[in-house]
A and B are shown apart, each in its own frame.
Chain A
């Protein structure tokens, strides 16, 4: 990736963390009114993982983690790299399915799924074909807009806050919070993508850390708004609780469907998020197989994710149910392998001349 500034790294991380977490605040049924603690606990855990990954990356000057893995361990490094490609391909596939389901349920119920899917994936492929500059520029535009929109929501919904929804505040269900933390680990852990695509010379540990902290605080803000406005008993039964939260906003009689304006901001945000997943897969493939052009692989991999998105999940309910098992797989990629990388990935010692 070309030279990238601190602000761009922070926004890239936020764009990759925020959109689907907002859409997936369904684990509210486990931790109830203390759901915000689950995101904070997950963020604290990933501060450590990010530190380990950035330390590992710093051992190899001017290289990102994909490059350092391949250059240090040509065979095992490629194996681990391919595993990560599969991991990010699955994330792209799942996100595509979530978006297709969401679009068909909320926005375009009469449009065939193939049209919706192909339009989404075509947009994502075109963003990736524009290269990292396009991705970063789009993040720089949409990131601040969506952050401002979240604060706007806070102001507009402030009058509807019911503090009674947070009660009993001091009676914390520890097993419930533990289960909630386990379930949100996978989504918060997506931040580990940053050291894989950004060269170690371009960032310091604090850059992805800021990204993680700001992204988590924004999610906590959304979760608190959700609990305070809608309440746990209703929110835990909703398919898209954040969407229902936005529908609560009524500026005046003439702007009754304010949700459409916010969805029009959030939808491009989610497309950029999916483009980042596709970019990571294409970029990783290019590093694993140097003769391959990452840009030319965007369309075939995008089409593969389109086919897999229909095949991987039986229906939306099964997809939600799989989140409980997905936490295990995500933990391997987001915690266990990074610990292994931290312990093993060191530069080769140069042999003595004499």
Chain B
């Protein structure tokens, strides 16, 4: 898990290094949204790797919608 997460962290750092020159010149909303999305991606990725019995969103939504599906 650690090694896979490190690969993702390296990718994020690399993207930020390359983009920072442009991001600095743009309004701060760009930096906030970009960094929030990176943290969210990392969080989801680590959550998915860490727990075996994690909740799969589509499975959960599928259970709810299944009642109304016209075809089985």
A146 within 8 A of B: no
Point out the residues of chain B lying under 8 angstroms from A182, CB to CB: 70-71
The SS class assigned to the A binding surface is helix
- Which B residues from 42 to 71 make CB contacts under 8 A with A? 42, 44-45, 47-48, 54, 56-59, 61-62, 65-66, 68-71
In contact, A293 and B56 (Cβ under 8 angstroms): no
The SS class assigned to the B binding surface is helix
With A and B bound together, what is the CA distance between A329 and B7 in angstroms? 34
Q: How many cross-chain pairs have Cβ atoms below 8 Å apart between A and B?
A: 105
With A and B bound together, what is the CA distance between A327 and B65 in angstroms? 10
With contact pairs A114-B4, A311-B48 given, residues A303 and B33 touching in the complex (Cβ less than 8 Å): no
Contact of B65 among A30, A183, A329 (CB under 8 A): A329
What band does the interface of chain B fall in when counting residues whose beta carbon is under 8 Å from A?
35 or more
With A and B bound together, what is the CA distance between A178 and B71 in angstroms? 9
Query: Closest CB-CB distance, A120 to chain B, in whole Å?
Result: 13
Query: Closest CB-CB distance, A128 to chain B, in whole Å?
Result: 13
Query: Closest CB-CB distance, A176 to chain B, in whole Å?
Result: 9
- Which A residues from 304 to 354 make CB contacts under 8 A with B? 304, 306-308, 310-314, 318-319, 321-322, 324-329
In contact, A325 and B33 (Cβ under 8 angstroms): no
Point out the residues of chain B lying under 8 angstroms from A313, CB to CB: 56, 58
With contact pairs A114-B7, A179-B71 given, residues A289 and B58 touching in the complex (Cβ less than 8 Å): no
Residues of A within 8 A of B (CB): 30, 114, 118, 178-179, 182-183, 289, 291-293, 296-297, 299-301, 303-304, 306-308, 310-314, 318-319, 321-322, 324-329
Q: Supply 14 A–B pairs (Cβ within 8 Å), ascending by A.
A: A114-B4, A289-B29, A291-B26, A291-B27, A292-B29, A293-B22, A293-B30, A300-B33, A307-B41, A311-B44, A311-B48, A313-B56, A313-B58, A322-B59
